Amino acid sequence: MSSTTLHMNTVAGVEVSGDHWIGGRRVASPERFDDVSPIDEQVIASISRGGPAEAAAAVAAAKAAFPAWAATPPAERARLLHRIADLVEERLEQLAIVETTDNGALLRSHLRGVMPRVAHNFRFFADYLVNDLHHPEFETRGHRNHVSWDPSGVAVLITPWNAPLMLATWKIAPALASGCTVVLKPAEWTPLTASLLADITADAGLPAGVFNVVQGYGEEVGDALTGDPDVSRISFTGSVPTARLIARSAAANLTPCSFELGGKSPMIVFADADMDSAVANAVEQYDNAGQVCLAGVRLLVQDSIRDEFLARFVERASSLRQGDPRDLTTDIGPNVSREHVDRIDGFVQRAIADGARAVIGGGPDVDLGGLFYRPTLFVDAQPGSEILTEEVFGPVLTLQTFSTEEEAVAMANGTEFGLAGVLFTGDPDRAERVGAQLVAGTLWVNCFFVRDLRAPFGGSRHSGVGREGGTWSFDFYCDVKNTCTNQDRWTTGR
What is the three-class DSSP state of 428? helix
Residue 35, H or E segment: strand 32-36
CB neighbours of 484 closer than 8 A, spacing ≥ 6?
140, 143, 144, 145, 146
Distance, C-alpha 247 to centroid of its chain: 18
As a whole number of angstroms, the distance between CA 181 and CA 211 comes to 6
Which ranges of 391-445 does DSSP label H, i.e. alpha helix? Answer: 405-412, 428-435
Q: Give which of 410, 411, 435, 415 is closest to 424, Cα–Cα.
A: 435
Strand 143-151, strand 137-140: pairing: antiparallel
Q: How far is CA 442 from CA 50, 266, 295, 356, 428, in A?
A: 36, 11, 11, 29, 18
Whether 441 and 464 have beta carbons less than 8 Å apart is answered as yes
Q: How many CA atoms lie within 13 A of 58 on its CB side?
A: 35
CB neighbours of 128 closer than 8 A, spacing ≥ 6?
177, 453, 454, 470, 471, 474
Q: From the CB of residue 72, how many other CB atoms can be counted at a distance below 10 Å?
A: 17
Distance, C-alpha 157 to centroid of its chain: 11
As a whole number of angstroms, the distance between CA 343 and CA 241 comes to 15
Q: Give which of 259, 305, 303, 300 is closest to 413, Cα–Cα.
A: 300
Active site residues: 260, 293
207 DSSP assignment: P
As a whole number of angstroms, the distance between CA 174 and CA 170 comes to 7
Looking at the DSSP bridge assignments, the partners of residue 22 are 25
Q: Edge-to-edge strands of the sheet including 25-27?
A: 25-27, 20-22, 211-213, 181-185, 154-158, 231-237, 257-260, 464-465
Residue 483, H or E segment: strand 478-486
Q: From the CB of residue 10, how many other CB atoms can be counted at a distance below 10 Å?
A: 10
As a whole number of angstroms, the distance between CA 154 and CA 211 comes to 10
Number of H helices, E strands in the chain: 16, 24
CB neighbours of 8 closer than 8 A, spacing ≥ 6?
15, 16, 17, 18
